Amino acid sequence: MSEGVQKVRLAESKSQLARRLIAALATGIGGLVTLDAGFVAAESVRTLTGAQIRAAFTGKQLTDEVHYRFVYDGDGTLRTYSMGVKQVGKWRIQKDEICLYITDMGDDCYRVTQSGKRFELKPGPGGPIDGILEPAYRGDREKP
CATH of the domain at 85: 2.40.128
Res 3 pLDDT > 50: yes
**Residue 142 within any structural domain of the chain:** no
- What are the residues facing 77 on neighbouring strands? 90
- Tell me what the pLDDT averaged over the chain comes to: 78
Residue 54 shares a structural domain with residue 108 = yes
Q: What is the domain count for the chain?
A: 2
Residue from 99, 129, 91, 90 nearest 113 by CA: 129
- Exposure b/e, 17-26, CB count within 10 A at least 16 = b: eeeeeeeeee
Domain around 17 = 1-42
For residues 35 and 95, membership in a common domain is answered with no
- Cβ neighbors of 124 (< 8 A, separation 6 or more) are 108, 109
Q: What is the mean pLDDT of residues 111-132?
A: 89
User: Looking at residues 64-85, what average pLDDT do you find?
Assistant: 95
Q: Are 80 and 128 part of one and the same domain?
A: yes
Res. 20 pLDDT band, cuts 50 70 90: low
In the predicted structure, residue 96 carries a pLDDT above the cut 50: yes
